[in-house]
Structure 1
Amino acid sequence: MAGDSEDPNADVQYHLEVAADDVADTVLLPGNPERVEKIVAHWDDHEERAHHREYRTATGTYDGTPISVTSTGIGSPSAAIAVEELARVGCETFIRVGSCGALQPEMTVGDLVITTGGVRQEGTSDEYVREDYPATADYEVVSALVAAAERLGYDYHTGTTMSADSFYAGQGRPGFDGFEAAGADDLIDELTEANVANIEMEASAILTIANVYGLRAGAVCSVYANRVTGEFRTEGESRAAETASLATHLLAKMDAVKREAGVDRWHAGLSLE
């Protein structure tokens, strides 16, 4: 007998405290709970549905399209919990909205990076699938994010994102009292040479888990720092939020066109007005 202990598989999810009626099909996933307010500021309307631990959820509409946002906290373990529990209540598309460090010298603070795939340096996705399984963004989500950035006139880049578990040692930064992890001196140079676009802490786990479950996922991050040039400012957060919100609306339009055309996937022969 299960007794009276909490059931992670109950209708109301254990960590997020949401049920199916609380969320839309598409959910934006910022890390910081405070970023939720900055995201919903771009919407037509919204209502907070739950706030438990680092997980804060609001649902509303953007240009008439239903949309939700759930903060994940920092790192892939907590982001994986968010994807798991949102999938269990029916969510099908996930867009990470975050900040990152750029790895290419031409990227400027305030630019957007739209992830096409991920380097799985985080360990969470290893607990789901073998380490050589790729972390790939859904191409429909990538297309919608690119179209949104273009329509809004924001500078953006597309490319591979490295996700780390550590903000300091795992990203080539010195730890306490000058500690340096093995390989830290060469990490940024190696990633730059390999044409990796940026570093953050959640995208590759979100992409991998979504792929394993047959769901759509992508990521758009504001560049706060350029790890090659040394530039740093907290800038562009609102651009990522607006881009992801518009992308959700465009995805809904893309899905409607697919249904009308009788096809399962978006392709170049289809168009949006």
Structure 2
Amino acid sequence: MTFHIGAKPGEIAETVLLPGDPYRARWAAQTFLKDARLINEVRGMLGYTGTWQGHPVTIHGTGMGMSSLSIYVNELIRDYGAQTLIRIGSAGAMQPQVKVRDVVLAMSACTLTAPSNGIFKELNFAPTAHFGLLKAAWDAAERLGVPTHAGTIYSSQLFYDERPDLQEQLQRHGALCVEMEAAELYTLAARYGRRALAVLTISDHLLTEEALPADQRERSFGDMVEIALHAAFA
């Protein structure tokens, strides 16, 4: 057990999918895993372990934002031996060619600040995905016929961001979407020598203001979870 994860030794798989929302973790585990069992509920952050096509998989919530994700990913890696960590979450599109319900694979994640930034001091470290996972996810998306984009994303430290000038520059430089966790996940994976990827479903659009209704989000997120699972065990 750790401060934030109550799982016993051996209850967390080496492959971990990481939604921000603990209820999405429960939904994904019940939908995609066989014999899923609850292994953590400390502070209401739910984690489940089961199998997918015979492979052990844990699906564990991280909460919202890089600071919260950093807590869980550090403990999953250091205390439970997680080797492959794939974020499955929602994002807001920033480019006209990226549509609501599309999937985005984050090749790299830029950010203004993250919990790990202090380590690098004046260096602008560039957090990137594990190439093997990225390629496997792209191949899986093509096989499944899911509209998918790969490129740079923006990990914001704020949900209500009041920097329209920054949004304009990110769009100008091709950032596909905005979310709140991937940059720290990629940095921690690099630090510990683990594999990481962010597979994101577009739930809303910053240009068109289109958004998925709440009752449609879970149904639309199934493609993202399936891509992540195929990528993890390619």
Q: Do the two structures share a fold, i.e. TM-score over 0.5? A: yes
Decide which of 225, 245, 249 is 2:233's aligned counterpart.
249
Q: Which residues of 2 match residues 185-224 of structure 1 at below 5 A?
A: 185-224=164-203
Shift of 1:159: 0.8
Q: Does residue 1:85 correspond to 2:75, yes or no?
A: yes
Q: CA deviation at 1:186?
A: 1.9
The reply on whether 1:36 has 2:25 as its aligned counterpart is yes
Give the match for residue 141 of structure 1. 133
Out of 136-145 and 230-239, give the one that drifted further: 230-239
User: Could you say which residue in structure 2 is the equivalent of 1:168?
Assistant: 160
- In terms of Rg, which structure is larger? 1
Percent same amino acid among aligned pairs?
33
Residues 160, 196 of structure 1: 8 Å contact kept: yes
The reply on whether 1:155 has 2:147 as its aligned counterpart is: yes
Per the alignment, residue 259 of structure 1 pairs with: none
CA distance in 1, matches of 2:188, 2:54: 29
Q: Find the aligned partners of 2:136 and 2:11 in 1 and give their Cα distance.
A: 24
Residue 45 and residue 147 in structure 1: after superposition, are their counterparts in 2 closer, same or farther (change >3 A)? farther
Range with greater deviation from structure 2 (93-102 or 186-195): 186-195
Q: Show structure 1 runs of 5+ residues with no match.
A: 1-11, 170-180, 251-273
The one-character-per-residue Cα deviations of 1:243-267 (angstroms, maximum 9, x if unpaired) are 21222232xxxxxxxxxxxxxxxxx
- Deviating 4+ runs (over 6 angstroms): none
Q: Is the 8 A contact 1:76 1:122 kept in 2?
A: no
Does 2:117 align with 1:126? yes
> What amino acid sits opposite 1:211 in the alignment?
A
What is the root-mean-square deviation in Å for CA atoms of aligned residues? Answer: 1.5
* SS at structure 1 position matched to 2:41: strand
Q: Do the aligned residues in 2 keep the contact of 1:38 with 1:241 (CA within 8 Å)?
A: no
Alpha-carbon deviation of 1:151? 2.1
Report the TM-score when normalising by structure 2. 0.91
Q: Which amino acid aligns with 1:237?
A: F
Residue 89 (structure 2) aligned to one of 88, 98, 119: 98
Deviation at 1:44, TM superposition (A): 2.8
Q: Is residue 26–residue 46 contact of structure 2 (8 Å, CA) maintained in 1?
A: no
